[in-house]
Structure 1
Amino acid sequence: MKRIFGLGRNQIAPSVSSRSLCGADGSGYLLRDRDLGKIHKAASRGKVAKVQQILLLGKNGVNDKDKKNRTALHLACANGHAEVVTLLVERKCQLNVYDSEQRTALMKAIQCKEEECATILLQHGADPDIMDASGNTALHYAVCAQHIPIAAKLLSYNANIEARNKDGFTPLLLAVDENKQQMVEFLVNKEANIHAVDKTKRLSPNQA
């Protein structure tokens, strides 16, 4: 296993998109009241009864977006409000829509390490293999969060362990590049391809 972490001469600096995914300052949403509709405010604050009332009165639809293209589901997931997430999915909200950063609610839940919210989404059919603008899947987000239980949950829902982002990074290559040892070991144990090569044709460190 040590060879996987050996920094050979073939190693390069992290790619821009990988750095932006794993090196972002804070993972939650910046919330401004002027950007939010009634349902978005209620969902972001975990007010289940208020969300239900808004939907019953038709003040907002379950899939309405705010000025940042976020649905109530995005905001509930980012803030860890599992009861609101449950209400929204029971109301048949769309699970795989993008916000303005081209992230799904599942990606946002994982980025914010909200395992319960991510689990609810997966149980109701959220697609773990949808990609963001940089080609990252939910499993890439789990790697950056170094959240092994979420990664295991994704794989149990048939997430593609060999998915490549636009830089050619599989989740394993991303874990190696970010020096996330526990995640590397987990993915290797899950039989991720240790011979993967990114688009620069760099070998995995264990091949150097």
Structure 2
Amino acid sequence: MAGQITEDGIPMEGPGTDDDMTTVIMHLYPITQSGSDTEEDATPLNVGPLKYSTTLTNRQRGNMVSVLPATLDSLSVHQLAAQGELSHLKEYLQKDETLLNRPDERGFTPLLWAAAFGEIEIVRYLLDLEADPHILAKERESALSLASTGGYSDIVTLLLEKKVDINSYDWNGGTPLLYAVRGNHVKCAEVLLEHGADLTLEADSGYTPMDLAVALGHKKVQRVIENHILKLFKKKVLWPEDEPEHQK
């Protein structure tokens, strides 16, 4: 389907070559996929102070991509990871272990694609094979930031267990927490804050996570941030570290 243009004037693209994709249905807004924890109305993509990377595929933008079974054998290892085709992916990696951390033209590894699409079984499998969760793509996208963008809190937890950089920033200064807040992913934001995500880091636009939550009207995420700030205040101000244990 190379070269085709949707009604919105957006070229259709996939994780690899355009010819590998058979059906693309366009949506203007991101949809909640399995694993995402979005609880309020979705925010239009690339609107507001924090924009998504232009390297994301139609499926990452919320567009459904389907591949006929007959074409699976022709897909790349990156496409198989993105589509959640575990059995075919295993066959690829059993034949060539060097594919495990191989980047595509955007710098995305199979793990990055799986994290971006919320394919948790693929993520588990790749991590068990010791895929490197610290690799950054060409625009500094990380598996953690991509999973946070989609609100895949279970994948976020798996990656944090691998000691990835929770405050890594990408091409526009976006951190995993900023992307979770932007996407209104309440559970994902909670997980990141519980693991020590920095609330003071700003995107290139100058927005902190709290600023972003307020600007977008994401009240549930805002309450999560407020509660976390209160917890930190109690710990550091009301209960100083040098206070005797019995007085806490």
TM category, shorter: 0.7 to 0.9
In structure 2, the partner of 1:132 is: 170
Alpha-carbon distance in 1 for matches of 2:52, 2:94:
37
Opposite residue 190 of structure 1, the aligned amino acid is H
Is 1:164 paired with 2:195?
no
Matches within 5 A, 1:27-176: 28=60, 38-58=76-96, 60-176=98-214
In the alignment, structure 1 segments of 5+ residues that lack a partner are: 1-15, 193-208
Alpha-carbon distance in 1 for matches of 2:57, 2:93:
34
1:158 Cα deviation after fit: 1.2
Q: Relative to 1, partners in 2 of residues 1:127 and 1:83: Cα closer, same or farther, differing over 3 Å?
A: same
Alpha-carbon distance in 1 for matches of 2:75, 2:165:
26
Root mean square deviation, CA, Å: 3.0
In structure 1, the partner of 2:228 is: 190
Under a length normalisation based on structure 1, what TM-score does the superposition of the two structures give? Answer: 0.72
Q: Relative to 1, partners in 2 of residues 1:27 and 1:160: Cα closer, same or farther, differing over 3 Å?
A: farther
1:138 Cα deviation after fit: 0.5
Under a length normalisation based on structure 2, what TM-score does the superposition of the two structures give? Answer: 0.62
In the alignment, structure 2 segments of 5+ residues that lack a partner are: 1-46, 231-248
Opposite residue 89 of structure 2, the aligned amino acid is V
In structure 2, the partner of 1:18 is: 49
Alpha-carbon distance in 2 for matches of 1:17, 1:66:
29
1:59 Cα deviation after fit: 6.3
Which protein has greater RCO, CA pairs closer than 8 Å, 6+ apart? 1
1:126 Cα deviation after fit: 2.1
Q: Structure 1 stretch 158-167 or stretch 125-134: which is displaced more?
A: 158-167
Alpha-carbon distance in 2 for matches of 1:141, 1:161:
12
Opposite residue 152 of structure 1, the aligned amino acid is E
* 1:117-152 CA distance string (max 9 Å, x none): 222111222221000111111000110111111111
Opposite residue 62 of structure 1, the aligned amino acid is L
Opposite residue 72 of structure 1, the aligned amino acid is P
Larger of the two Rg values belongs to structure: 2
